[in-house]
Amino acid sequence: MRLYFAKYTNHRFFFVSTLVLGAYILSAYFDGRYHIREIGEEDRAASLLDDDEAMEHFPKRVSDNPTAYLEAKFGNSCYKPSVYYTWVKDFILSSDMKRSDQPDCQNRLPNVIMIGAKKCASDALRDFLVLHPSIVYGRAPEYVDDVFVSGSGETHFFDRHYQRGIDFYRNLFPFSRPGDTLVEKTPQYLNFPDDAPAKIYNEVGKDTKIVAIICDPIRRAVSDYVMEHKRETYKKFVPMMHYRIKDTFEESVLEYDRFENIDTNNDLIKIGMYAYHLARWVRYFPLSQIYLVDGGVFKTDPVKELKNLERFLQLPRYFKKEHFFLHPKTNLYCSAFPIKRCLDKRQKGLRHPDVSDKIVKRLRDFYRAYDNQLSMMFNRTFTWMDEDV
């Protein structure tokens, strides 16, 4: 799919889109919780932490010696060190492996939540990030009693199980100690439900750190189309998912009327309207508690973004380039240490259909207002915006 585009000409649509979206963002500003100037000062102060010398580092042996890594990861954790051999393959932390000499170990709520975006490599980001020795992460169980949680290891609490109460949510997590960095990842939260930010703020905590990986919204939409066309997952979760999947990508993203407008009610399109969704999150969480991973950077240099996350989460330096390798067939990065592992090739790296330049240009024109607003909100230009912002 070619991503080289002519200059935008539909000025009327651009003006209206920008006006509407800007009004939505400004409503958050005047609500008293979205303080652009304050956050800007905090972000500039936080950027001073960019210096490696200002950060704690793990000893070098932890980064290249499996025995030293095991000791750093589980030597003083809530679990017996032997849990490593099942965890490192499937991220499963079984309760029967809990240590008896750690009385402060309990099921706790997460303090880091990865909220998406779907089809922007959120699985790979999670799988790489949780290898950090200081992070506690375990797959959520598929079932709790007779309740189906999910088949992905994600909790999906705020979009599917909220009515079961916060204790149900808490018990989906592995044991952890006070002060541990406990991570959850459910990519649906970015865009659904609308009140997910409020629920997380009120019930998980106002100090929760939010991580999202975002990518080119057009590539994201195509990837989402390929997966949903093949697996039809969306049919199981109506009305939580609003997809219209037709025989072709073009038919799926256009409305069936004489104007053939972009179908903004279709989740294929709507999820990529990042500024629209993130406006809800900044109503509750300051920008200093939200980090957006650039999916374009992560794809070509995962260590760069993982180091950014180490700074954001205030973790000791650990990640280095030798921990990953580029798979020659999928052209996707895999972990090399502490174990060689790649994402399931049956679900990742699926072939994308060719999309006409005309449709690509229309989608780029449509997303430009949202991309511009996103860049303004976070004072950043993301990789796919290079031609447009």
Please write the tens of the pLDDT for every residue from 277-306.
999 999 999 999 999 999 999 999 999 999
**Which pLDDT score is estimated for 81?**
94
Contacts of 69 (CB under 8 A, 6+ apart): 62, 63, 133, 337, 338
pLDDT in tens, 204-225: 999 999 999 999 999 999 999 9
Contact 177, 74 (CB under 8 A): no
Asked if the model's pLDDT at residue 21 lies above 90, the reply is no
Over range 364-378, report the average pLDDT: 97
Over range 178-204, report the average pLDDT: 97
**Which pLDDT score is estimated for 48?**
34
pLDDT in tens, 95-119: 999 999 888 999 999 999 999 999 9
Residue in the block written with tokens 């260590």: 303
Asked if the model's pLDDT at residue 272 lies above 50, the reply is yes
**Which pLDDT score is estimated for 258?**
59
Given the DSSP bridges, would you call strands 181-185 and 112-114 parallel, antiparallel or unpaired? parallel
pLDDT in tens, 229-257: 888 776 776 556 788 889 999 999 998 76
Write the DSSP string, 279-317.
Answer: HHHTTTS-GGGEEEEEHHHHHH-HHHHHHHHHHHTTPPB
**pLDDT bucket at 346, cuts 50 / 70 / 90:** low
Over range 126-141, report the average pLDDT: 98
What is the rounded CA–CA span in Å between residue 263 and residue 249? 12
Burial class (CB in 10 A: 0-12, 13-18, 19+), 62: buried
This model's pTM is above 0.85: yes
What is the rounded CA–CA span in Å between residue 354 and residue 248? 10
**3-class DSSP state for residue 13?**
helix
Which residues, in sequence order, are bridge partners of residue 57?
A: 317
pLDDT in tens, 30-43: 444 443 333 343 44
**Which pLDDT score is estimated for 260?**
78
* Of 298, 292, 283, residue with least CA distance to 312: 292
Average pLDDT of the chain is 86
More confident residue, 281 or 346: 281
Asked if the model's pLDDT at residue 74 lies above 60, the reply is yes
DSSP single-letter state for residue 49: G
What is the rounded CA–CA span in Å between residue 230 and residue 238? 17
Torsion of CA 307, 312, 316, 317, to 10 degrees: 10
Q: What percent of the chain has pLDDT over 90?
A: 71
What number of other Cβ atoms are within 10 A of residue 268's Cβ?
A: 25
Contact 307, 319 (CB under 8 A): yes
**Which pLDDT score is estimated for 321?**
97
Distances (CA, A) of 243 to 154, 196, 215, 348: 21, 20, 19, 20
**Which pLDDT score is estimated for 51?**
52
Q: What percent of the chain has pLDDT over 70?
A: 81
Contact 43, 287 (CB under 8 A): yes
What is the rounded CA–CA span in Å between residue 327 and residue 263? 36
The CB-side HSE value for 278 (13 A sphere, CA atoms) comes to 26
End-to-end Cα separation, the chain, in angstroms: 21
Asked if the model's pLDDT at residue 76 lies above 50, the reply is yes
What is the rounded CA–CA span in Å between residue 11 and residue 14? 5
**pLDDT bucket at 184, cuts 50 / 70 / 90:** very high
Identity of the highest mean pLDDT range in 6-15, 145-154, 199-208: 199-208
**Which pLDDT score is estimated for 52?**
57
Asked if the model's pLDDT at residue 3 lies above 90, the reply is no
Residue in the block written with tokens 């304050």: 38
Joined tokens for residue 253: 């993203």
What is the rounded CA–CA span in Å between residue 66 and residue 337? 8
**3-class DSSP state for residue 210?**
strand
Over range 33-57, report the average pLDDT: 47
